[in-house]
Amino acid sequence: MPADLTKRILIGRALRSDKLGETLLPKRIALPVFASDALSSVAYAPEEILLTLSLAGASAIHFSWQIGVVVAVVMLAVVASYRQNVHAYPSGGGDYEVATVNHGSNSGLVVAAALMVDYILTVAVSTTSGVANVVSAVPALRGHEMGLSVALVIILMGMNLRGVRESGTAFAVPTYAFMAGVVGMLLYGMVRHFAFGASMHAESSGFHLEATPGNGSLAGFALVFLLLKAFSSGCAALTGVEAISNGVPAFRKPKSKNAANTLLMMASIAVVMFMGIIYLAHLTGTQMAENPAQQLAGVPAGYHQKTALAQISEAVFSNFTPGFYFIAAVTGLILVLAANTAFNGFPVLGSILAQDRYLPRQLHTRGDRLAFSNGIILLAGAAILFIVAFGADPNRLIQLYIVGVFVSFNMSQSGMIRHWTRLLRTETDPKKRAHMYRSRAINAFGLVMTAAVLIVVLVTKISHAWIAIATMVVLFVMMKAVRRHYDRVSDELAAAEEPDDVVLPTRVHGIVLVSKLHKPALRALAYAQLARSQTLEAVTVNVDPSDTEALRRDWDARGIEVPLKVLDSPYREITGPVLDYVKNLRRSSPRDVVSVYIPEYVVGHWYEHLLHNQSALRLKGRLLFRPGVMVTSVPWQLESSERRSPQKAWSAPGAVRRGDPRRQPVRSGGSATERSDIPAQPADRTAEATADPSKDATT
């Protein structure tokens, strides 16, 4: 199947640039696209609280609801703060733009590095958590978690390559089904408990939860530290809140208003579901253990601990089994699809950073479906590396998760305070000033909350957090290096202000590399003559004396006027003598330009590359690094390539037909390769093979 057809099947037909407006999202689609991460985190954030409190045994479990309330307050504060962000900075830069504008480029890069780590871990955590929930309902899949997680990341990558609107539409139903399922489970459980007095017990409620060795009967500072650690674990529920501020350009107009309303809807739904799950965990006696074999007394042999949400739904729907499987299915789906938030946020951030020259320019280019395809592929690859490195264990990955997001929270909120303070210095309208004072107070409260969480996270999770911090440092250094490279190249390539500063070459010395007189060599000679260089000569390397003598005889017999020069090569090496000869020409006349013409074969099948060595390709690569040297490839299409080409070949040896799209040479010079202004060859560009010049073509 042709590669282009396969691409069209996988990601769809290419879209015109003027269709970009049709990919913008209404609120009903934007909510599942950008808020699915924050909404899905309520599936594992309560579990993280229970797992941490389990270290002190059953006596500490009752603190879970108080911790949940504090987490909910922090979430509402952060959402209120980000509603100010989307109005003040609607361009989609989000935390990166806020930090860069108000704190400087280095602060912006710190935020960018933190966000990129957060997006990568969002994909890793979401997919592995989704697989864990599915395995809880389908034990037969146990042992295949890593393969399933990697496969899901690849599927998500493919869906997002089709475009943000299509992926959002596909993800809307599972997201709304998850919200309806969790809220429905909460209402169903409350009705069973209060109206019918039903007894609902999780499978772990009958076990005795014991403290881990050394953590029994915690009191004083040790208990406070444990509660703070549980709080920091529960703050995983806040991850993904920032995604909407980074995705404002994807909303329909009015963009800022729609983004702010989506934030409010997301926060309201997330808080209800988060506190509802914690309440049902108390009601059903759900217990989680870091090490079930040691901490849970009375468990049967071969016991595998299910996720907290799976245990709760199993207890609530004990008289309605389809409800349990529905919750398991939609939870697995939403956790996997929550990675879509990152697949929408990371490529946009990467595009902005590429535009600012902190990341490779390829990340700023939209693909066929008007999505930032390179950013999507890069994100998928990085997430797969984390999944494999941590054995697809969501509990281990979550420990790294919230460091990056709270770094960006803090930088963003402090930047917003500076933003409002700067505007207040010049604003005179009393109504606008009152609005700015209120917005600054909201951002200040958000900063206090997020700073406290970040301190708690760093203190309680430093044994795991250092990995995320180290990754952020590596990304920061890499982005600075990329920017230095682009700045250096820009300075070197900048045109001189005065035209007189440009030193033109005095003449062009043309060289045609030949090994024998065949059609490719004759074509290269004819094209070189058309270029009208001041001097032109043919050069061959004496690898085999008999071949060289045969070439001389053919040359004289044809009466070719171009002089033939033979370079000695006592070690039968081709590249070195040619490079030395070109170097000597440049040394003798530094202001001359040397133009080297290289005949090349074009083959139609990959295996034909194996039948011709790549000496001309190596020589071309070496010549490109020589200043003042221009390299021109003169291709000759073999029949295998012509059969693959939709156009007819012309075969007049030595002739060059103007405008022929398959025969035109490719010019390159200095340290960069450039296409000529003749239309590019439409055939498969990977089919170009370089012939062995000593045997097949010229070098």
Q: Is residue 501 part of a domain?
A: no
Average pLDDT over residues 95-119: 91
Which among 533, 521, 536 is positioned nearest to 635, based on CA atoms? 521
Choose one of 485, 520, 539: the last residue of a domain.
Answer: 485
Q: Is residue 16 part of a domain?
A: no
Average pLDDT over residues 31-44: 80
Least confidently predicted of 499-508, 576-585, 688-697:
688-697
Q: Is residue 196 part of a domain?
A: yes
Highest mean pLDDT among 37-51, 204-218, 628-642: 37-51
Are 560 and 603 in the same domain? Answer: yes
Average pLDDT of the chain is 80
Q: Is residue 1 part of a domain?
A: no
φ, ψ at 598 (rounded to 5°): -120, 115
357, two tokens:
């020259």
Are 317 and 448 in the same domain? Answer: yes
Select the more confidently predicted residue: 610 or 315.
315
Structural domain for 350, as ranges: 26-485
Q: State how far the Cα of 172 lies from the Cα of 282, in Å rounded to an integer.
A: 31
Q: Is residue 17 part of a domain?
A: no
Average pLDDT over residues 607-623: 72
Which among 449, 347, 334 is positioned nearest to 72, based on CA atoms? 449
Average pLDDT over residues 389-413: 85
Which among 431, 400, 97 is positioned nearest to 247, based on CA atoms? 97
Q: State how far the Cα of 204 lies from the Cα of 198, in Å rounded to an integer.
A: 18
Are 478 and 514 in the same domain? Answer: no
CB contact at 8 A, 284 and 205: yes
Write the CA distances from 125 to 246, 386, 388, 394, 449, integer angstroms: 20, 9, 12, 5, 24
DSSP 290: S
Report the SS3 class of residue 31: helix
Select the more confidently predicted residue: 616 or 472.
472
Would you say the pTM of this structure is higher than 0.85? no
Q: Is residue 605 part of a domain?
A: yes
- Residue 229 confidence (pLDDT): 86
Average pLDDT over residues 368-376: 69
Average pLDDT over residues 15-26: 53
Q: How confident is the model at residue 608 (pLDDT cuts 50, 70, 90)?
A: low
Choose one of 452, 485, 518: the last residue of a domain.
Answer: 485
pLDDT tens sequence across 240-292: 787 777 678 778 888 888 888 888 999 999 999 999 999 999 999 998 887 77
Burial class (CB in 10 A: 0-12, 13-18, 19+), 435: middle
How many domains, in total, are found in the chain? 2
Report the SS3 class of residue 602: strand
Q: State how far the Cα of 283 lies from the Cα of 277, in Å rounded to an integer.
A: 10
Are 217 and 322 in the same domain? Answer: yes
Supply the CATH number for residue 81's domain: 1.20.1740.10
Are 216 and 340 in the same domain? Answer: yes
pLDDT tens sequence across 186-233: 999 999 999 998 889 998 888 877 777 655 555 567 788 888 888 988
pLDDT tens sequence across 643-681: 655 444 444 344 333 334 344 443 434 333 333 333 333
Q: How confident is the model at residue 612 (pLDDT cuts 50, 70, 90)?
A: low
128, two tokens:
């592995």
Average pLDDT over residues 628-632: 89
- Residue 386 confidence (pLDDT): 93
Are 474 and 530 in the same domain? Answer: no
Are 244 and 191 in the same domain? Answer: yes
